[in-house]
Amino acid sequence: MTITQSDRGSGNILGFVVSGDVTKADYEILTPAVEAAIEEHGTVKLMLDLTDFRWEKVGAWSADLHFGREFHEKIARMAIVGNRKWEERLVHLAAPFYAQEAAYFDDQDAAWAWLRS
């Protein structure tokens, strides 16, 4: 499994660790959790730890695009955690399509603090 939910989230703040190559099936973990939090709270704040992420399989692209279209207006904040320059650039590219506000962090604790502020 390449997307696992973090136990550090609570309420409308969710966290996921993304590792290896993401497949379409991985969205079956991410999407229901986000949907449930939105249903309960109206909006969510999302942390994605991409430290061990490699890439997204071509078959997952449609699920990824659907996720962005479906939840963009409901994701108030998205924190991307990583350790590579391209991940930092990804925040600027992804923000308009996935979240109202997005930021990059190289430390999970800082990301969680920003989401909770």
Angle of the 85-98 helix axis to the 61-71 helix axis, nearest 10: 50
Per-residue pLDDT of 24-34, as tens digits, reads: 777 778 888 98
- The string of pLDDT tens digits covering residues 22-73 is 777 777 788 889 899 999 999 999 998 978 777 666 666 666 666 666 777 8
Entry pTM:
0.81
84 phi and psi, to 5 degrees?
-135, 150
Domain locations in the chain as residue ranges: 3-116
3-116 CATH choice from 2.160.20.60, 3.40.50.1980, 3.40.50.10600, 3.10.450.50: 3.40.50.10600
